[in-house]
Amino acid sequence: MKSISVREIAKFFNGEIVGDDSRSFALVSKIDQAIPGSLSFLANNKYEDHLYSSAAGIILVSRTMELKKETDATLVKVDDPYSAFCEILNKYFNTYSEKKGIEDKAYIDKSTICGKDVYLGSFSYVSANCKIGERVKIYPNSFIGEGTVIGADTVIYSGVKIYHDIKIGSQCIIHSGCVIGSDGFGHAPQRDGSYLKIPQLGNVVIGDHVEIGANTTIDRATLGSTVIGNGVKLDNLIQVAHNVEIGENTVIAALAGVSGSVKLGKNCVIGGQVGFVGHIAIADGTQIGAQSGISKNVDEPGKQWIGSPIMPLQDAFRTQVVYRKLPALKAKVEELEKQINELQRNGQ
């Protein structure tokens, strides 16, 4: 790719250049493993020593950065070095975003409406009456069910299965192996011990700027919609059950399981392997530590929880202190029991 000047980067982020403003870069790298002449960034002051030894020619740093000694690199001071670096990667280095056109052996039904510059990879199948927005990318071996709507600039990677009547917003990323819109786990117990399948007649509605990790599954609603709000980020291997609602900008780490009809608030942070029982509500801004089990509503917004069943984070820390003392307490109790027994035998 062509070289990008430090002046162009500084102008784009309204940044301040410290050092040689004639430099340019065509590569990016980590600050501690930098390729000579590349662009890197420093977002955590813990790694500041690398700033003075890095081979990078240009380094993005915080506006508040005060140098402790000289560096050979040209610095660009910006509001948020990490976010700026991500924007540069997307703007100049994400070559996969340039794909467009329909490859051989892809199928798209004639009733489906496609916007301009859509990409459809080989062996993908787009069913009838779909609406595919501009610049959508559907990679090989994916399936799009009848009546599904996909917003502009969304990327669907290989092997994704999207069932019928699903609504997906703009600028979403859906990674390989995801299944969206499969039936919810609805079965009515019968008197003879068998189960009657409950038809799952709803759909899934996904907002804008949502990212869904590999092999995550989102079930369609029994009635109504399973809803994933704008800006939600789901990690790999997550199960979202029928009629769940996840509020905007909530993030969930891998291996979490969200049971049916749970309502997760906005801006929540959910750790890995967290499990939710069904039909509960979680307040906005809730943070839940890994491997926790949630069996009741969380009503107070903005609190941190951990454990199974969950307890406030600070209570959990105090409880851990007690746990560590239990062996010594047990020995002390046993010693006291021996003393009491000895006194009783002596008639005291």
Residues forming the active site: 242
Please give the DSSP secondary-structure letter assigned to residue 290.
T
Are 308 and 292 within 8 A, CB to CB? yes
**Alpha carbon separation from 140 to 107, 200, 277 (Å, rounded):** 11, 28, 36
Beta carbons within 10 angstroms of residue 76's beta carbon: 26
For tokens 């704008």, name the residue.
230
Amino acid letter for position 54? S
Of the candidates 154, 146, 96, 99, the one whose C-alpha atom is nearest the C-alpha of residue 126 is 146
The residues pairing with 187 across neighbouring beta strands, listed in sequence order, are 197
Give the dihedral sign, CA 32/35/36/42.
Answer: negative
Strands (E), 97-166: 101-102, 107-108, 113-114, 119-120, 125-126, 131-132, 137-138, 143-144, 149-150, 155-156, 161-162
Q: Are strands 281-282 and 217-219 parallel, antiparallel or unpaired?
A: unpaired
The pair of structure tokens assigned to 260 is 């049916």
Q: What is the CA radius of gyration of the chain?
A: 27
Amino acid letter for position 185? F
Q: Are strands 195-197 and 233-234 parallel, antiparallel or unpaired?
A: unpaired
Q: Are strands 245-246 and 217-219 parallel, antiparallel or unpaired?
A: unpaired
Residue 249 to residue 331: CA distance in whole angstroms: 49
Q: Are strands 195-197 and 187-189 parallel, antiparallel or unpaired?
A: antiparallel
